[in-house]
Chains A and B, each alone.
Chain A
């Protein structure tokens, strides 16, 4: 929970956003975040983000699934409950492949989705500050954390990056639980400071 002040700039085209990101980082500003209505290839690079390791996690989850399936089926059929099924050996590997494969995929997929939700801090009931309600529609929003002294200067700079609209907002930088129909209900008193956005 941290209430912070942000200067935001809204762009109406991703090409403009790219140049703005480049310029902003070139000027040495630290970008808090960029919000876009859809995935934009190359934006992560432009923002200097590292490559995600999500797939490595997926590989490990998958391997866990493989071992779980083979381990359990092997233990059950060789030790706990050895039976003769159609004259097959007690560890009939070809017949174990289908279930092993399914569990590999299941573990990898479920594990990755949960990891994704954890990393992005998203969950049913989670609420986050939306700088511009059209950032999930057709606008591209860049936010830079500011303090009282440099807010004006940063906003001024943003105006030079081709922004369609700029403003300064006080907002929760993190997430909180709440109903989306309520106003920013993390701290009622702050609502007065939140400026109306387009």
Chain B
């Protein structure tokens, strides 16, 4: 067995005097208790938002996409903005689970479960937009490539929009599998504690009959590792392919080679912001402050700072290269972004995404919960505007007679609100019935990073480096 030790400069990841059993108790408590009034109220609000969304979509399906304010030049409006926005948000979960695993960030264990859940729900929301944008949604299955009765008719595999179909559905499936693979042992924990018959059966089925055999754990570790390895390029590919929707075109402001990595950075940026928003509330409501500590929030704020700066470099690169290129149309597209009719969107984007995250250089602000919460909302507004700015590049084309200005109609707004309804309905159900924190993973790091056990490490810290190295060399 390996020595459980962590440097004294590291902050504890699990506060309070927790042992293994206490971890189980704390994380299972919200599941085993009756839902609170606050939960019921929130759930009801989410459901009504969802209802309004369903109504807005029904209206659109019944009357056709004409009820949206799309026009001759702006064939994509709020719909595609919201699609890209939600997909972007759906990137943090896999990033936390997969890429942070590669960078050995211990703090991911506290937040990965909720972040992955959020990923899945966000991707579900995102998927709605292209589907309902089809208008004749009953023909949506035409995007699938199968031997069909429509003559020798196949989807166009060269179209980035079709790549999206594959990318989003693969991403959704793999994220779901990854998430569920992690949930199986935790469901087994809840099952074995269950007092009611219903709970015992429900979690019994959900746990797939997991018993915690050492051989199974070994395979589980391998599975998680390989899924993490697969998810790392996958998460990059998804937003890359979304960026291809724009960048493969020859529209000024859209056709730029930096789009793929910059979209990914932006996606991670907004994803982490959404994780912050949700977890700051969740940790308070479910009383999980010991597991999602200020240290966790600070680490995520650092990621927000880094990705915000990457996005900032990309914005300025785009702007600079447009002027460096000497191409009139590129320059005009960017001039219009900065000071055209949609100048307010561009400056909202710049302020929210590039300028304001720089405040996270200050440690006190990074560790301030209220400020973090505020910033997480700001970042998500900024990232919404980023997509809006890109898409609104369409408001001027080569033909001045078709120049226009776009504002959404009520079914478009209703659809967007409805996606919030769907997202939060799912999240509320998750927070009530699923372990919000990965129980087994917290136990795995508990004796290395738990507050209680860190005290026991003082002798190791005080040991001279020489004797420590010798002792360890002896062990191997």
- Residues of A within 8 Å of B153, CB to CB, are 81
Taking a contact as CB atoms under 8 Å apart, the answer to whether A95 and B201 are in contact is no
The secondary-structure label for the interface of chain B is: helix
Task: Please name the residue on chain B nearest to A15 by beta carbon.
Answer: B1
- Residues of B within 8 Å of A133, CB to CB, are 192-193
A28–B439 alpha-carbon span in the complex (Å): 34
**Interface residue A134 (Cβ < 8 Å from any Cβ of B):** yes
Taking a contact as CB atoms under 8 Å apart, the answer to whether A109 and B200 are in contact is no
**Interface residue A54 (Cβ < 8 Å from any Cβ of B):** yes
Taking a contact as CB atoms under 8 Å apart, the answer to whether A123 and B244 are in contact is no
- Residues of A within 8 Å of B209, CB to CB, are 121-123, 125-128, 175
Task: Please name the residue on chain B nearest to A134 by beta carbon.
Answer: B192
Which of A118-171 touch B at CB < 8 Å?
A: 119-130, 133-138
Known: A77-B157, A130-B211. A55 touches B218 (CB 8 A): no
**Number of chain A residues close to chain B: CB under 8 A:** 72
A135–B177 alpha-carbon span in the complex (Å): 24
**Interface residue A63 (Cβ < 8 Å from any Cβ of B):** no
Contact with B along A49-62 (1 / 0, CB 8 A): 10010110010001
> Which residue in B19, B145, B158, B166 is a CB contact (below 8 Å) of A95?
B158
- Residues of A within 8 Å of B193, CB to CB, are 133, 137
- How many whole Å from B444's CB to the nearest CB in chain A? 5
Task: Please name the residue on chain A nearest to B210 by beta carbon.
Answer: A122
- Residues of B within 8 Å of A120, CB to CB, are 213, 215-216, 219-220
Contact with A along B294-338 (1 / 0, CB 8 A): 000000000000000000000000000000000000000000000
**Among B39-47, B167-175, B251-259, which stretch is in contact with chain A?**
B167-175
A76–B191 alpha-carbon span in the complex (Å): 49
- Residues of B within 8 Å of A81, CB to CB, are 152-154
Which of B140-162 touch A at CB < 8 Å?
A: 145, 152-154, 156-160, 162
**Interface residue B93 (Cβ < 8 Å from any Cβ of A):** no
**Among A2-10, A30-38, A187-195, which stretch is in contact with chain B?**
A30-38
**Interface residue B281 (Cβ < 8 Å from any Cβ of A):** no
**Interface residue B185 (Cβ < 8 Å from any Cβ of A):** yes
Taking a contact as CB atoms under 8 Å apart, the answer to whether B217 and A36 are in contact is yes
**Among B60-68, B77-85, B221-229, B402-410, which stretch is in contact with chain A?**
B221-229
Known: A41-B2, A98-B241. A123 touches B208 (CB 8 A): yes
> Which residue in A72, A112, A123, A130 is a CB contact (below 8 Å) of B226?
A112
Q: Between A and B, how many residue pairs show CB distances below 8 Å?
A: 214
Taking a contact as CB atoms under 8 Å apart, the answer to whether A137 and B189 are in contact is yes
Taking a contact as CB atoms under 8 Å apart, the answer to whether B21 and A138 are in contact is yes
- Residues of B within 8 Å of A46, CB to CB, are 1
Which of B350-402 touch A at CB < 8 Å?
A: none
Known: A47-B214, A88-B158, A133-B193. A124 touches B206 (CB 8 A): yes
Contact with A along B1-44 (1 / 0, CB 8 A): 11000000000000000011100100000000000000000000
Known: A14-B1, A18-B1, A137-B193. A54 touches B233 (CB 8 A): no
> Which residue in A37, A76, A96, A117 is a CB contact (below 8 Å) of B189?
A37
A26–B185 alpha-carbon span in the complex (Å): 30
Taking a contact as CB atoms under 8 Å apart, the answer to whether A137 and B21 are in contact is yes
**Interface residue B284 (Cβ < 8 Å from any Cβ of A):** no
Known: A44-B214, A113-B181. A127 touches B204 (CB 8 A): yes
A165–B212 alpha-carbon span in the complex (Å): 18
> Which residue in A85, A112, A135 is a CB contact (below 8 Å) of B211?
A135
- Residues of B within 8 Å of A83, CB to CB, are 156
Taking a contact as CB atoms under 8 Å apart, the answer to whether A38 and B233 are in contact is no
Known: A37-B20, A80-B154. A109 touches B197 (CB 8 A): no
Contact with A along B416-436 (1 / 0, CB 8 A): 000000000000000000000
Taking a contact as CB atoms under 8 Å apart, the answer to whether B166 and A102 are in contact is yes
- How many whole Å from A180's CB to the nearest CB in chain B? 3
**Interface residue A110 (Cβ < 8 Å from any Cβ of B):** yes
Known: A54-B222, A105-B174. A37 touches B211 (CB 8 A): no
Taking a contact as CB atoms under 8 Å apart, the answer to whether B205 and A52 are in contact is no
- How many whole Å from A162's CB to the nearest CB in chain B? 14
Taking a contact as CB atoms under 8 Å apart, the answer to whether B174 and A35 are in contact is no
> Which residue in A33, A54, A58, A103 is a CB contact (below 8 Å) of B213?
A33
- Residues of A within 8 Å of B181, CB to CB, are 113, 116
Taking a contact as CB atoms under 8 Å apart, the answer to whether B230 and A35 are in contact is no
**Interface residue B96 (Cβ < 8 Å from any Cβ of A):** no
A102–B206 alpha-carbon span in the complex (Å): 28
Taking a contact as CB atoms under 8 Å apart, the answer to whether A39 and B203 are in contact is no
- How many whole Å from B308's CB to the nearest CB in chain A? 27
Taking a contact as CB atoms under 8 Å apart, the answer to whether B230 and A105 are in contact is yes
- Residues of A within 8 Å of B197, CB to CB, are 181
- Residues of A within 8 Å of B212, CB to CB, are 35-37, 135-136
17 example contacts (A-B, Cβ-Cβ < 8 A) are as follows A35-B212, A38-B217, A42-B2, A47-B215, A54-B222, A55-B226, A77-B157, A98-B163, A102-B167, A103-B170, A105-B233, A112-B226, A127-B209, A135-B212, A137-B192, A180-B205, A181-B197
User: Which 5 A-B pairs rank lowest in CB-CB distance, beginning with the nearest?
Assistant: A180-B204, A126-B209, A138-B20, A122-B208, A38-B440
Given contacts A180-B194, A180-B201, 19 further A-B contacts (CB under 8 A): A15-B1, A33-B213, A34-B214, A35-B211, A38-B185, A47-B214, A73-B157, A81-B154, A103-B166, A109-B230, A112-B223, A116-B223, A124-B205, A124-B208, A128-B209, A136-B191, A136-B210, A137-B193, A138-B19
- List B residues at the A interface (Cβ < 8 Å): 1-2, 19-21, 24, 145, 152-154, 156-160, 162-163, 166-167, 170, 173-174, 177-178, 181, 184-185, 188-189, 191-194, 197-198, 200-201, 203-206, 208-223, 225-227, 230, 233-234, 237, 240-241, 244, 439-441, 443-444
